[in-house]
Amino acid sequence: MSGVIYWLDMAGVIVFALSGVILACRSRMDPFGMLVLAAVTGIGGGTLRDLVLGVRPVFWVADSTYLWVILITVGVSLVGFHYIHRLSRGFLPVADAFGLALFTVIGTHKALLLGTSGLVAVLMGMMTGVAGGMIRDVLAQRVPMVLREEVYATAAIAGGIVYVALDGLGAPLTMTIAAALMVTLGLRLAAIHWHLALPVFAWVTLPPKTTDEGAPLSTHEKAKERVRMIRRERKRR
């Protein structure tokens, strides 16, 4: 089963690297910029996870196949640049969702193998899934998805919790992986399709209660500032 985990990891690197290439194309970067975004997206989250867990050397130093996979992905993208550039804008978040699900499972699995607690394993799964995309978006001068009100890190946390729970119950590894993948991917794709979002909290100014603009405002009638929960309106199709 370790072979399945390994190939899932490779699949996640390819999908995330491709999302980095697509964003680089839309940001009008040169081939080196494409390579940088592909690399930080593909191995950035896992690198940070290994550093936090004290794994030495980090996974791509111990196995350079990860680097070759990124190079090949970028090379194929350059050859098929015309087709990559014409991909719909909806493809990037979908590809990113698949990468998020794969890396969440890989990160949670590796943390549990190292003997961490369930809580730490969930956090490591989330870190593996979101950190690379955060670095990618920052380099492309975009607000990272995880910092918006979108259901992104929440999906990774849910998938990690499912993995830890099933692992603790002694479920077969295949079932554990499949369930965590489906939960993470399902939540993220549902958020994309139906524009689901978490509420945000904002500091708003409430107008005075008086309706007479010419009337003097008393202490109790002045505008007040409060923290309010704001829900994002769903986009109409």
Express each pLDDT in 46-69 by its tens digit.
999 999 999 999 999 999 999 999
The stretch 70-99 carries a mean pLDDT of 84
Hey, what amino acid is at 163?
A: Y
**What pLDDT was estimated at residue 237?**
45
The alpha-helical segments, DSSP class H, found in the chain are 2-26, 31-53, 59-62, 65-79, 81-85, 91-113, 118-139, 153-168, 173-194
- More confident: 105 or 196: 105
Question: In 3-state terms, what secondary structure has residue 6?
Answer: helix
- Residues 6 or more apart whose Cβ sits within 8 Å of residue 76: none
Query: Residue 165 and residue 161: Cα distance in Å, rounded?
Result: 6
Domain boundaries, the chain: 2-194
- pLDDT tens track for 109-164: 999 999 999 999 999 999 999 999 999 999 999 988 788 767 899 999 999 999 99
Q: Average pLDDT, whole number, for the chain?
A: 87
Instruction: Tokens for 103, please give them.
Output: 């890396």
Say if CB 180 and CB 227 are below 8 A apart. Answer: no
Choose among 185, 190, 90, 97: nearest CA to 146.
Answer: 97
Tell me phi and psi for residue 137, to 5 degrees.
-65, -35
- pLDDT tens track for 184-214: 999 999 999 998 887 776 666 666 665 555 5
**What pLDDT was estimated at residue 231?**
64
Query: Residue 226 and residue 175: Cα distance in Å, rounded?
Result: 47
Percent of the chain exceeding pLDDT 70 equals 82
Choose among 3, 154, 113: nearest CA to 162.
Answer: 154
47 by Cβ neighbours in 10 Å (0-12 / 13-18 / 19+) ranks as: buried
**What pLDDT was estimated at residue 101?**
96
Distance of CA 174 to CAs 4, 10, 105, Å? Answer: 9, 17, 11
